[in-house]
Amino acid sequence: MKISKTKIGSIADHQIIQYTLENDHHVQVVCMSYAATWQGFMVPDQNDKLHNMILKFDDVREYLTNPYHVGHTIGRVGGRIKSGDFTINNVKYCVPVNEGQNLIHGGAHGFSSWNWKAATEILQDAVKVTFSRTITAQEDGFPGDIEAKISYILDNHDKVTIQFYGQSNADTLFNPMTHVYFNLSNDHKTINNHELQINSHQHVETDVQKLPTGRLLENRKTAFDFFKPVNMESALAQLQQETGKTQFDDAFKLADREHPAVVICDRSDHRQVSVYSDRNGVVMFTANPDGFGKSKEWEASHPYNGIAIEAQTLPDAINHPGFGDIVLRANKSKVYTVQYQYEEI
Ligand code: GLA
């Protein structure tokens, strides 16, 4: 097992450092200090050639401007909060909005806008890098100064564990997530041939601004039914037929915590990743992040090349009873865990 690091760029006078964790099977996890971003989940083929199962940008500057949040750690809160408004202990807070009238992905000064400090560790059966930073109430507008740590752990069972630690000096919100896009195929051209399974019977109804209405809709007999594995091309076709929408960007309520929340599979390249989460929801978003700034013609001729799997508590939970508790109490630490198990199939 080993860890290496290299400087890949800088913002202002802060160096952006990239870390590579490697296990005894030559599986690698690559991540960088800017936005504590996950850049590589590399697995070897028969000839020991490495293939990345997640999307990344080669040019680090792209991470600063591209709005798709490729691989970013998102916090304090993933997803949208209506008007940036919420109430804790009868006190109303309003965080500066950054998507029309609403707040998304922790706002303009959320976790994904900072360069994080890092420390590495070689454990008995795993390698680990931990990114840490204190984000103050003045910086991002949420109550409380929050000390956050994001750890990436790769073990010898080819499993990646991401831990999110938070502790704040005042009651605040904490629902962080990794905005990772999967594509398990060798060429990364499309996810149409992928099979997706989501351990869910219900998804979140949203309005035109993609804000949850508070209602849950049944998945059964609709394009949202991924309880058994479904081919993505047919799911997208069914979605369009039923709703007119050409893209999934939806939150699913998980049925339980025992089974994998999500299983993604590419039979042609014999790869599968199972995602486990200790929270109640997952957002699934089909996209082609390379399309940013390109023409409609470009988009039309390039199918989606990534499926974002965002494991978290259901979006805008603070404003919808029954969606889950994302309040982080003052001076009480909290750890959330998401795991990604790779298997050759
Ligand atoms: C989430 C949201 C999408 C989009 C992406 C990229 O998936 O649900 O609407 O904003 O993040 O940032």
pLDDT tens digits for range 213-241? 999 999 999 999 999 999 999 999 999 99
Strand partners for 26: none
Ligand 1 site residues, Cβ closer than 6 angstroms: 67-69, 104, 210, 249, 283, 285, 308, 310
With left for phi above 0 and alpha for psi between -120 and 50, is residue 253 left, alpha or beta? beta
Segments making up each domain of the chain, as ranges: 2-344
pLDDT in the model for residue 13: 84
Residue 310 is a catalytic residue: yes
- How close is the Cα of 285 to the center of ligand 1, in Å? 7
Which residue among 207, 247, 285, 310 is best mutated to probe the pocket of ligand 1, counting the most ligand atoms within 8 A of its Cβ? 285
Nearest atom, ligand 1, residue 249 CA: 8
Buried b / exposed e over 73-109, threshold 16 CB at 10 Å, is: bbbbbbbbbbebebebeeeebebebeeeebbbbbbbb
Using the mean position of ligand 1's atoms as its centre, give its distance from the Cα of residue 175 in Å.
15
State how far the Cα of 147 lies from the Cα of 106, in Å rounded to an integer.
Answer: 15
For the CA of 251, the closest atom of ligand 1 is: 8
Q: Measured in angstroms, how far is the CA atom of residue 318 from the centroid of ligand 1?
A: 19
Query: Residue 102: what pLDDT?
Result: 98
Q: What is the CA radius of gyration of the chain?
A: 19
Rama region for 5: left / alpha / beta (φ>0; ψ in -120 to 50; rest): beta
What is this structure's pTM? 0.98
Q: What single string gives the DSSP state of each residue in 16-34?
A: EEEEEEE-TTS-EEEEETB
Predicted pLDDT at 70 = 98
Q: Which of 180, 249, 284 to mutate to test the pocket of ligand 1 (most atoms within 8 A of CB)?
A: 249
Q: How far is the CA of 210 from the centre of ligand 1 (A)?
A: 9
63 C-alpha vs ligand 1 centroid, how far in Å? 15
Please give the full DSSP string across 154-188, using - where no structure is assigned. EETTSEEEEEEEEEESS-EE-B-EE-EEE--SSS-
Nearest CA to ligand 1 atom 12: 68
Distance 319 CA to ligand 1 centre (A): 19
- Nearest CA owner, ligand 1 atom 8: 249
Cis omega (within 30 of 0) for bond into 267 = no
Active site residue 109: no
pLDDT reported for residue 145: 98
**Nearest by Cα to 82 from 217, 243, 214:** 214
- Output the pLDDT for position 113: 96
Distances (CA, A) of 134 to 99, 147, 286: 24, 4, 32
Task: Tell me how far the alpha carbon of residue 249 lies from the centroid of ligand 1, in angstroms.
Answer: 7
- pLDDT, position 12: 82
Residue 41 to residue 38: CA distance in whole angstroms? 8
Q: Which atom in ligand 1 lies closest to the alpha carbon of residue 310?
A: 7
Whole-angstrom distance, CA of residue 186 vs CA of residue 69: 22
Ligand 1 atom closest to Cα of residue 99: 10
Q: Are 285 and 248 in contact (CB under 8 A)?
A: yes
pLDDT at 82: 98
Which of 62, 69, 175, 252 should be mutated for ligand 1, with most atoms under 8 A from CB?
69
Measured by CA distance, the residue closest to atom 3 of ligand 1 is 249
pLDDT (0 to 100) of residue 197: 99
d(CA 100, CA 84): 11
With H, G, I as helix, E, B as strand and everything else as coil, classify residue 4.
Answer: strand
Residue ranges of the chain with per-residue pLDDT less than 50: none
Which residue in the list 51, 179, 194, 203 is annotated as catalytic?
Answer: 179
Which residue among 72, 82, 105 is best mutated to probe the pocket of ligand 1, counting the most ligand atoms within 8 A of its Cβ?
Answer: 105
C-alpha distance from residue 64 to each of 60, 72, 96, 168, 194 (Å): 7, 10, 20, 27, 29
pLDDT the model gives residue 30: 98
Q: What is the CATH T-level fold of the domain 2-344, as seen in this structure?
A: Beta-galactosidase; Chain A, domain 5 (2.70.98)
pLDDT on residue 57: 97
